[in-house]
Structure 1
Amino acid sequence: MKGFLAEAHAGNYAVAAHYLDLDFLARDKQVETGAQLARRLKFVMDRKLPVDLSTLSSEPEGDPAEARFDQIGSISLEGAEVPIRVQRVLGNGGTPVWVFNESTVKEVDRLFSAYGPVLTEVLPDVFFKRTVLGLEAWQWLGLLVILFGGWALSLLLERLSLAFTMRLARWTKFTWDDALVSAGRGPLRLPYYAALVAVGTSMLLLPRPIQTLFARLSYSLTIIAVAWFILRFLKVSSLYVQERVASKNPNDADRIRGLSTQLAVLQHVLEVATYVVAAALLLMQFEVVRNVGVSLLASAGLAGLVIGLAAQKSISTLLAGIQLSVTQPIRMGDKVVVEGEFGTVEEISLTYVVVRIWDNRRLVIPIAQFLDKPFQNWSRSHSEMLGEVILQVDYFADIDVLRAELKRILENEGRHLWDGKVQSVVVLNVLDKTLSVRALVSADSNNLFDLRCLVRERLVVFLRGRPGWLPTVRSETRPVTPAGEQGAPVPAPAPRA
């Protein structure tokens, strides 16, 4: 059996024919017909009766119950079982050898008609005479057609399927099904390709190891396609939910930011779970990996404790990310001051937070820091904030006029920045030479900095037109007599207009 399989898989069908009992054929037909029968028997056995040599009897006499005979197995044909048997006969020189017996050889043509390749009647004999790496030329040709043609056909099937489902989705009053269809663009081609490869390679009568390889490839492509679709669906669904909430509550910025934060963290959690499950399914199809996994589980003990301690920080970081999404001390778009930097929360993952600083630098901070250390959140409860502009003016400055000027600035140049709620001018402090005046305004956190700069610039221009209101250094001059006595003070000059 070992000799027949080795010669047949090497393409030496004329040599493999010596392992067949061909005595029922005429001598002049044994060479040509024997090679053909050997090739056909090889195809049938590879597809329907793969032989494990380690399970065959090692007795020189064969089956003790039936001397000189041994049954390899049987193949179903037309509702009956056809036995595949070998027989011990005397070869050249009187040496006993094992060959497929006459009854088995006579059934080869019927078995091949039922299970053999249909291309034998179409392709010339040159495609069946030689093998390369265990495959004949027609099999290599079929693989090329299946692998490349299958990919092109899968792209076509994907486009047709998406076009059809998109048309159906447009007939409905919902919009989420449109997002579902768009999520399938890309992942859908892989199941089609896997199915085409699985069906196509099964028709090529490949040896069992190669057929198993393509079966695992098709299975892997299906897993990858499902995981890919889930990842795309999570992203599309997150955007869809955010858009729906924003359209229904366009003025509720706090709720929108809070929902965006929860969706971002939930999306990351589900993405990690998808990657883990997909990787496990891909690896568990290999027996070696399954055995290693069972061994690791059986011998966890101290090693499991060590791994658990080593991963404690990573696990706590993941839990911190989940906790942050629930408690929401920060949300997407919040204005925060952290590590002495002011910026906007741009991204929240399971392990870190990205803060975009005002100069477009990105500050990446471990997520646990927002739960363990204090920080400033300028838009925690609402986005409206107060901003101040401090000016130093002379005692002669008219505060009421400054209030009127601030109102004019906010209602004209600053109307696109000011929220119309707070405007005030107060004397914050009286110093020895000047008055400290504070102009207080309110605006959305995104506009507050620009509004403060605008108010400061316009008030400086306003004070420049009134030099008497600018800070002035005052001094008093007294004459001194030769005896050192001070005289009366010199009258101060009139104030500047």
Structure 2
Amino acid sequence: MFRVLPVLCALVLASLPAWALNAGLGPPPPTVDRQTPHATVRGFLEAAHAGDYKRAAFYLDLDFLPRGEQAEKGPQLARRLKFVMDRKLPVDLSALNQTPEGDPADGRFDQLGTIPLEGAAVPIRVQRVVADDGALVWVFSESTVKQVDHLFQEYGPLLAETLPAIFFRSSVLGLEPWQWLGLIVVLVAGWVMAVLLERVSLAVTMRLAKWTRVSWDDSLVGAGRGPVRLPYYAVLLALGTSFLLLPRPVQRVIDRVCYSLLIIAVAWFVLRFLRVSAAFVHDKVSSKTRDATRLRSLSTQLAVLRHVFEVATYVIASALLLMQFEVVRNVGVSLLASAGLAGLVIGLAAQKSISTLLAGIQLSITQPIRMGDTVVVENEWGTVEEITLTYVVVKVWDERRLVVPITQFLDKSFQNWGKGGSQMLGDVLLQVDYSTDIDALRAELKRILENEGRELWDGKVQTVVVLNVLEKTLAVRALVSAEPSKLFDLRCLVRERLIVFLRTRPGWLPTVRSETRPVVAGGEQANPGQPTGPAPVPRA
């Protein structure tokens, strides 16, 4: 069998006419389309990127080689031409002629471009020649194929010819085994090198930051751990893959990945910068002032402004990432072109969102509420726990969380107990008998505040006054002052202790008095001016 096969191949070659194109390769497969310059270049690139260099060789003019060498040299020349074109001559297939006659100015040649070589420009052309069946086909010209070896020596991969042949015989997903191996090495080694470069850079930068008296730069250097690694990795990845001579579609993916890493690194660092800067400003101000009102105001401004810049960072980074893709870019251009109706629709749809965003910015400037303020909203009493661009979280007294749209604090009225300062007045209303000693109540209130209520009372206001004289009782008001968050507990304590004090004093609680008189004949009362006896009845 092995002896008969060479004989059969020799008979097939001998049967071909002497003028047959690439007679040493044999008849072309049915999938080979060489009718137009466009079909030839496209077919060559598809076959070469698929690793089918034997089929790609049919798109070359190999007649300058002896027939016995064409089957061996043809695939090798096709492989080398693929690397050269991928690296130095990007081809726009849409610009190639798609008619069998080619360029009307020169019907025999169609030039793809030129590649510099040793001070000269080597033209890369496809030429119309006669095939073995007498038909006219387009192939890469003989002059171009003769220069492939010289071009490959100048622009080809460095180690592709020194590795064992198994590394470049076949192709998987358009990449040869040596390219896959190199890509894995670049990905892993690049990440390791990026981590090492990040550590060295941060160590040097931290040492420089220690020379200053400000702690902000020290925190900023620490925040760079992570974001600094990505630019190093992107640069190393771009440099490493440039030696692999990857196909243009694969290289385009690598370039976009590197570009995306740079954008992500910048956005990541900006977010870290905002967090570190906000914390530094807050700590700096809190160390120089003990005014709780100013600190809450500053915390609110920093929180809202930080949210604004974070949202802007996310939007810009997302836009830059999406603009890499042609589909998204075309959509953006189309939207801009139809900005009339589309802008109106989008504006109406986003009206609520935009108004909410602007309300958040306005709240950070005007500050009707601040972090830590005690408020009464929606008939709920609580403390402002979180302020975002769209809503406010109020911690209710029973540990519930009330989420209120931020526009409500600008459109509707609410109570802010912490707006005027750190002091509020609270009253305790009591009804006592006319015989009650008001001075004794004042003394008892002072005792309660100075002993049991010393942790709640701020030591400023303590008064007891007769607020009103009713028909049967006196309305007494005890007025105390405390911080907004402690006022409710203090009022409850004072009310409870004063009730206990009144119960220990006979007759001081409200009583109802009545009189009984004897009735004589005719319905008249006896001794109308003399009460027969009081009957006090305590009123609950």
TM superposition score normalised by structure 1: 0.88
Q: Is the 8 A contact 1:333 1:344 kept in 2?
A: yes
Q: 2-side partners of 1:4 and 1:151: how far apart?
A: 36
What is the one-letter code of the residue matched to 2:324? Q
Where does residue 3 of structure 1 map in the other structure?
A: 43
What is the one-letter code of the residue matched to 1:202? S
Give runs of aligned pairs for residues 247-262 of structure 1, distance below 5 A.
247-250=287-290, 252-262=291-301
Question: Which of 466, 471, 475 is the aligned partner of 2:505?
Answer: 466
Mapped pair 1:168 → 2:208: yes
Q: Is the 8 A contact 1:468 1:495 kept in 2?
A: no
What is the one-letter code of the residue matched to 2:243? M
Where does residue 179 of structure 1 map in the other structure?
A: 219
What's the CA shift for 1:67? Answer: 6.9
Where does residue 136 of structure 1 map in the other structure?
A: 176
What's the CA shift for 1:87? Answer: 4.1
- The percent of aligned pairs where both chains have the same amino acid is 73
Q: 1:33 to 1:303 in 2, by over 3 A?
A: closer
Question: Which of 395, 402, 407 is the aligned partner of 1:368?
Answer: 407
Where does residue 314 of structure 1 map in the other structure?
A: 353
Q: 1:372 to 1:70 in 2, by over 3 A?
A: closer
Q: 2-side partners of 1:446 and 1:434: how far apart?
A: 33
Question: Which of 417, 442, 459 is the aligned partner of 2:456?
Answer: 417
CA RMSD of aligned residues (A): 3.0
Partner of 2:125, secondary structure, is strand
Mapped pair 1:489 → 2:538: no
Q: 1-side partners of 2:192 and 2:330: how far apart?
A: 38
What's the CA shift for 1:173? Answer: 0.9
Where does residue 81 of structure 1 map in the other structure?
A: 121
Where does residue 308 of structure 2 map in the other structure?
A: 269
Q: 1:476 to 1:104 in 2, by over 3 A?
A: same
Q: 1:79 to 1:356 in 2, by over 3 A?
A: farther
Q: 1:291 to 1:409 in 2, by over 3 A?
A: same
Q: 1:433 to 1:125 in 2, by over 3 A?
A: farther
What is the one-letter code of the residue matched to 2:264? I
Where does residue 424 of structure 2 map in the other structure?
A: 385
Q: 1:418 to 1:89 in 2, by over 3 A?
A: same
Q: Is the 8 A contact 2:514 2:535 kept in 1?
A: no
Where does residue 243 of structure 1 map in the other structure?
A: 283
Q: 1:472 to 1:186 in 2, by over 3 A?
A: farther
Partner of 2:479, secondary structure, is strand
Q: 1-side partners of 2:102 and 2:348: how far apart?
A: 60
What's the CA shift for 1:66? Answer: 6.5
Q: 1-side partners of 2:351 and 2:486: how far apart?
A: 42
Question: Which of 99, 116, 119 is the aligned partner of 2:159?
Answer: 119
Where does residue 435 of structure 2 map in the other structure?
A: 396
Q: Is the 8 A contact 2:209 2:218 kept in 1?
A: yes
What is the one-letter code of the residue matched to 1:172? T
Q: Is the 8 A contact 1:17 1:35 kept in 2?
A: yes
Where does residue 428 of structure 1 map in the other structure?
A: 467
Q: 2-side partners of 1:147 and 1:213: how far apart?
A: 14
Where does residue 290 of structure 1 map in the other structure?
A: 329
Q: 2-side partners of 1:86 and 1:305: how far apart?
A: 53
Q: Is the 8 A contact 2:515 2:535 kept in 1?
A: no
Where does residue 476 of structure 2 map in the other structure?
A: 437
Which whole-Å deviations, capped at 9, do the CAs of 1:273-318 have from their partners, x for residues lacking one? Answer: 2222222222222333333322322222233234333433333333
Where does residue 346 of structure 1 map in the other structure?
A: 385
Q: 1:287 to 1:455 in 2, by over 3 A?
A: same
Q: 2-side partners of 1:301 and 1:118: how far apart?
A: 56
Q: 1-side partners of 2:518 and 2:219: how far apart?
A: 90
Which residues of structure 1 form unaligned runs of 5+?
none
Q: Is the 8 A contact 2:431 2:510 kept in 1?
A: yes
Q: Is the 8 A contact 2:514 2:536 kept in 1?
A: no
Q: 1-side partners of 2:186 and 2:275: how far apart?
A: 33
Mapped pair 1:110 → 2:150: yes
Q: 2-side partners of 1:369 and 1:189: how far apart?
A: 44
Q: 2-side partners of 1:437 and 1:149: how far apart?
A: 83
Q: 2-side partners of 1:312 and 1:15: how far apart?
A: 60
More displaced stretch, 412-421 vs 486-495: 486-495
Q: 1-side partners of 2:497 and 2:117: how far apart?
A: 98
Mapped pair 1:233 → 2:297: no
Q: Is the 8 A contact 1:429 1:437 kept in 2?
A: yes
Q: 1-side partners of 2:478 and 2:257: how far apart?
A: 71
Partner of 1:119, secondary structure, is coil
Q: Is the 8 A contact 1:427 1:435 kept in 2?
A: yes
Partner of 1:343, secondary structure, is strand
More displaced stretch, 41-50 vs 54-63: 54-63
Which whole-Å deviations, capped at 9, do the CAs of 1:202-225 have from their partners, x for residues lacking one? Answer: 222111112112211221222122
Q: 2-side partners of 1:106 and 1:35: how far apart?
A: 14
Partner of 1:173, secondary structure, is coil
More displaced stretch, 420-429 vs 178-187: 178-187
Q: May I ask how many residue pairs the two structures share in their alignment?
A: 495
Which whole-Å deviations, capped at 9, do the CAs of 1:164-209 have from their partners, x for residues lacking one? Answer: 3233222211122123223323333332332233223322211111
What's the CA shift for 1:96? Answer: 4.5
Where does residue 324 of structure 1 map in the other structure?
A: 363
What is the one-letter code of the residue matched to 2:531? P
Which whole-Å deviations, capped at 9, do the CAs of 1:378-420 have from their partners, x for residues lacking one? Answer: 2212121111222333333322222222222222332222222
Partner of 1:426, secondary structure, is strand
What is the one-letter code of the residue matched to 1:104? T
Partner of 2:113, secondary structure, is strand
Partner of 1:131, secondary structure, is coil
More displaced stretch, 483-492 vs 437-446: 483-492
Question: Which of 257, 263, 275 is the aligned partner of 1:217?
Answer: 257
What's the CA shift for 1:148? Answer: 4.4
TM superposition score normalised by structure 2: 0.82
Q: 2-side partners of 1:378 and 1:65: how far apart?
A: 88
Q: Is the 8 A contact 2:385 2:394 kept in 1?
A: yes
